[in-house]
């Protein structure tokens, strides 16, 4: 199978310097690392902010939500990109955070899956996904679709500490963690999307930005979404059918038709309130003028009340 070009490109993205300026002082440098879920939006924000502030250098690298939290608490970066609920233990360590956008984790399969049509009609419920990913009570496509087919389901998950994996586990079972998910571990969202797209019998999960081409709204070549049978009636009803285009999916996330989790808020985190004035100015811009780019980048804006609350945090309130 020809390797989808988009994933080759995305695999090159985990580390990006938005500016190549060499004339800036250290106080004008801003560094970010972490969640692949937030990476494309952070790059968009970095590019737009640099048009207004060309002397600011912004370094952005991926690596997963776990890396973002670890780097932020260690002071290795100014801001960590984070994509799951912040745990009590992380709060006890003094992590500071603001909510900046919202997206979702989607169950994904190869576009070459031989059961694609049946899956799009029936979908799978959270109970069935739990029996596939956690308990393994369902291990064949026949069991998933109530047929005699014995083809094994090939499970994929994330090998890095990922907000997407933690959020997906929480959707399947409220107290489950990433470690409870079965399957072959693959590093990073781009890698997982590529692995699933190349295996016709695979099931995985991906963030919205790695399933849809946000410029066109169409699904990326080689990958498809399993609709979630929210009411568990064994079929995808019209109100559950919104996966054909990124626009309809994002509208469903914003309107609560897509369950939460696996929809979730996205955060920037740091070791206490940032003191770097350049970082604070960047965050203030993200929570105000920068919000105009959220939909354009393929994400769901957070409520105005939340944005106002997060702005107060920048003032130490």
* Structure tokens belonging to residue 247: 């626009």
Judgement on whether residues 226 and 298 belong to the same structural domain of the protein: no
CATH number reported for the structural domain that contains residue 96 in this entry = 3.40.190.10
Whether 21 maps to a domain, the answer reads: no
Judgement on whether residues 304 and 209 belong to the same structural domain of the protein: no
In contact, 313 and 273? CB cutoff 8 Å: yes
| Pairing outcome for strands 95-110 and 79-82 | unpaired
Q: Give the integer Cα–Cα distance in Å for 44 and 42.
A: 5
Identify which of 119, 132, 106, 101 has the alpha carbon closest to the alpha carbon of residue 38: 101
Whether 175 maps to a domain, the answer reads: yes
Judgement on whether residues 51 and 92 belong to the same structural domain of the protein: yes
DSSP 133-180: HTS-S--BHHHHHTSS--PBPEEEEESS--HHHHHHHHHHSTT--GGG
Whether 22 maps to a domain, the answer reads: no
Judgement on whether residues 52 and 114 belong to the same structural domain of the protein: no
Q: For residue 136, give its domain range.
A: 105-263
Whether 11 maps to a domain, the answer reads: no
Tell me the pLDDT tens digit for each residue of 56-67: 999 999 999 999
Judgement on whether residues 242 and 302 belong to the same structural domain of the protein: no
pLDDT tens, the chain, 317 aa long: 333 333 333 443 445 555 433 344 445 899 999 999 999 999 999 999 999 999 999 999 999 999 999 999 999 999 999 999 999 999 999 999 999 999 999 999 999 999 999 999 999 999 999 999 999 999 999 999 999 999 999 999 999 999 999 999 999 999 999 999 999 999 999 999 999 999 999 999 999 999 999 889 999 999 999 999 999 999 999 999 999 999 999 999 999 999 999 999 999 999 999 999 999 999 999 999 999 999 999 999 999 999 999 999 998 76
Whole-prediction pTM: 0.86
Judgement on whether residues 243 and 271 belong to the same structural domain of the protein: no
Tell me the pLDDT tens digit for each residue of 183-212: 999 999 999 999 999 999 999 999 999 999
Angstrom CA distances, 56 to 18, 82, 117, 280, 293, stand at 9, 23, 49, 13, 19
Which residue reads 């002082």 in tokens? 25
Counted domains in the chain: 2
User: How does DSSP classify residue 26?
Assistant: G
Judgement on whether residues 135 and 202 belong to the same structural domain of the protein: yes
Judgement on whether residues 224 and 138 belong to the same structural domain of the protein: yes
Q: Give the integer Cα–Cα distance in Å for 116 and 178.
A: 26
């Amino acid at each position: 199978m020809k390797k989808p070009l988009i994933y080759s490109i995305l695999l090159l993205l985990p580390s990006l310097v938005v500016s190549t300026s060499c004339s800036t002082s250290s106080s004008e440098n801003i560094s970010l690392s972490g969640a692949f879920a937030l990476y494309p939006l952070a790059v968009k924000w970095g590019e737009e902010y640099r048009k207004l502030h060309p002397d600011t250098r912004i370094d952005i690298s991926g690596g997963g939500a776990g890396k973002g939290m670890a780097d932020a608490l260690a002071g290795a970066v100014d801001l960590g990109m984070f994509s799951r609920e912040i745990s009590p233990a992380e709060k006890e360590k003094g992590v500071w955070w603001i909510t900046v956008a919202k997206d979702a984790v989607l169950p994904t399969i190869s576009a070459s899956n031989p059961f694609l049509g049946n899956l799009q009609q029936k979908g799978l419920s959270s109970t069935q996904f739990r029996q596939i990913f956690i308990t393994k009570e369902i291990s064949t496509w026949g069991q998933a679709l109530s047929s005699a087919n014995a083809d094994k389901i090939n499970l994929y998950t994330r090998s890095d500490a990922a907000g997407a994996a933690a959020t997906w586990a929480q959707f399947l079972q409220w107290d489950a963690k990433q470690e409870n998910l079965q399957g072959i571990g693959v590093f990073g969202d781009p890698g997982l999307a590529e692995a699933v797209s190349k295996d016709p019998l695979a099931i995985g999960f991906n963030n919205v930005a790695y399933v849809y081409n946000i410029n066109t709204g169409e699904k990326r070549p080689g990958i498809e979404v399993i609709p979630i049978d929210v009411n568990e009636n064994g079929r995808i009803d019209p109100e559950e059918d919104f996966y054909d285009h990124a626009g309809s999916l994002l509208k469903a996330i914003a309107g609560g038709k897509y369950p939460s989790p696996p929809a979730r808020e996205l955060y920037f985190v740091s070791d206490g309130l940032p003191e770097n004035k350049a970082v604070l100015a960047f965050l203030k811009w993200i929570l105000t003028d920068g919000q105009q780019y959220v939909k354009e980048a393929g994400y769901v804006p957070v409520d105005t009340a939340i944005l106002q609350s997060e702005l107060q945090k920048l003032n130490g309130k």
